[in-house]
Amino acid sequence: MAEPEKLQNYINGEWRNSKATNFQDVINPATGEILARVPLSPAAEVDEAAQAAAEAFQEWRRTPATERIQYLFRLKYLLEEHFEELARIITMECGKTIHESRGEMRRAIENVEVACGIPTMMQGGILEDIARGIDEFMIRQPVGVCAAICPFNFPGMIPFWFMPYALACGNTYIVKPSERVPLTMQKIFHLLEEVGFPKGVVNLVNGAKETVDAILEHPVIKGISFVGSTPVAKYVYARGAANGKRVQAQGGAKNPIIVLPDADLEMTTRIVADSAFGCAGQRCLAASLAITVGEARHTFVEAIADAAVSRKVGYGLDESVQMGPVISWQSRTRIERLIEKGMQEGAGLLVDGRNPHIPGYEKGAFLRPTILQDVNPASEIARTEIFGPVLGLIHVNDIDEAIAFINSGQYGNMACLFTSSGAAARKFRNEAEVGNIGINIGVAAPMAFFPFSGWKESFFGTLHGQAGHAVEFFTQTKVVVERWPKEWSRQF
């Protein structure tokens, strides 16, 4: 059998073999096949990328914004041309279904489209005559070399929450993909090469903790965007800030949804099942707890159990499959342990998705949808991020109790409400202490022209990814106060 391909880094406009002593297997979680080997690049390779990006910055920041976005227009068309291939790569390395991968790439492309508006979005402001004969204006300038450190669950989309805006604003860039899913960015960097960005403007460094630490320590790197688990987000935020960098760090989640008795049952069940079990529960916006209020309990529990049992699980490249595997066997074991823990804490196993048999995919890291019922709101399982296809059911008496429970949680990524009452919806969106709200929506993912607004332990920083927040993050403001006495001007 042929040796799996060793992936390269892309630095200063060329593909380079890594001098890493450690390589990690990239495994298709559905088949167990080794797709490639990824280098865990040492600090010296981060340094090469940072130096190349710093050199490229001087010319790139002076390139007119209208010219910079021409590169993004070309990128958009190449992403469209390679759309299907990219979706297949995501499914193969990450496990989600081909439909989910297509959705992911669509979201990535939307960010490129929005960043093409930078000549308008990056504008500053001016006020004439702040005192007699004196004008004051604010301009935005790029920050310098910036970097993204990415998680495994959206290998195509998440770098695009940041990179297109950074580049359009005149920064140069380094992407460090998750070492578990490096193939999507490998392909996208071939497209970036085809776009023809000047050398050093975009760089790819593969790796894990050592590579991340080198990014956090490098004096040339001025801005860091991180997405991943909360403990690592906290670490990246603290260490990056201690080194004088601006950092935006998105963390984990435990997303609750409330079902009121007046909700449309058929619609609610379909949407909640998609949210809880879509992407095998590995979305940072996956519904993890369904809180039924009053009478909703009886109708909803039966319907959601049916939806869980009937979900078709298998290899995501099969168009009829509705749920793929989780990312790895290690992850599957961790999730199964958490299910057991939930049961030890008193929850009942309404639907058991452990140890499934998926014919032909015995090496795959599969679980089927699982539902824990009567989860005690005070138990640990009600607070722990599971990041797998497991939905916990909690029952409360009224919406106030449900909102109080949500607000007592450590995370604040998303909360949703299912109802036909406008008044309940208004109360909920006003009082819930989370950054992304869904009303009769199960995955309240902000479009590219809104910020992805996590709160509490789901986000560390002030400016989020996407759109206007990204423009703020990737620029620094400069204020100019200017006087031109009349007598200095030649009269024409």
**For 281, which DSSP code?**
G
- What value does the CA radius of gyration of the chain take, rounded to a whole number of Å? 24
Residues in 123-162 that interact with ligand NAD by CB under 6 A: 149-154
As beta bridge partners, residue 204 has 10, 175
Residues in 231-260 that interact with ligand NAD by CB under 6 A: 232, 235, 250-253
Q: Is 325 in the site for ligand NAD (CB under 6 A)?
A: no
Q: Is 209 in the site for ligand NAD (CB under 6 A)?
A: yes
Q: Is 93 in the site for ligand NAD (CB under 6 A)?
A: no
Q: Cβ of residue 445: shortest distance to ligand NAD, in angstroms?
A: 9
| Candidate segments 206-214, 273-281, 312-320, 350-358, binder of ligand NAD by CB under 6 A | 206-214
**9 or 250: CB nearest ligand NAD:** 250
Among 97, 101, 178, 248, binds ligand NAD (CB under 6 A): 178
Contact 454, 250 (CB under 8 A): yes
As beta bridge partners, residue 142 has 475
Which secondary-structure segment (H or E) carries 83?
helix 83-94
**Total Cβ atoms within 10 A of residue 453:** 21
Q: Is 435 in the site for ligand NAD (CB under 6 A)?
A: no
Q: Return the amino acid letter for 486.
A: K
Q: Is 415 in the site for ligand NAD (CB under 6 A)?
A: no
Look up 284 and say whether it is catalytic.
Answer: yes
Q: Is 229 in the site for ligand NAD (CB under 6 A)?
A: yes
Distance between CA atoms of residues 224 and 215, nearest Å: 8
As beta bridge partners, residue 450 has none
Q: Return the amino acid letter for 82.
A: H
Q: Is 228 in the site for ligand NAD (CB under 6 A)?
A: yes
Contact 53, 173 (CB under 8 A): yes
The pair phi, psi for residue 350, each rounded to 5°, is: -75, -45
Dig out the tokens for 267 from the structure: 């619609």
Among 112, 208, 293, 347, binds ligand NAD (CB under 6 A): 208
Contact 95, 361 (CB under 8 A): no
Q: Is 186 in the site for ligand NAD (CB under 6 A)?
A: no
Q: Cβ of residue 405: shortest distance to ligand NAD, in angstroms?
A: 20
Catalytic residue among 94, 116, 150, 284: 284
Give the catalytic positions in this structure.
284
By CB under 6 A, name the binding residues for ligand NAD: 149-154, 176, 178-179, 208-209, 212, 227-229, 232, 235, 250-253, 284, 385, 387, 413, 452, 454, 458
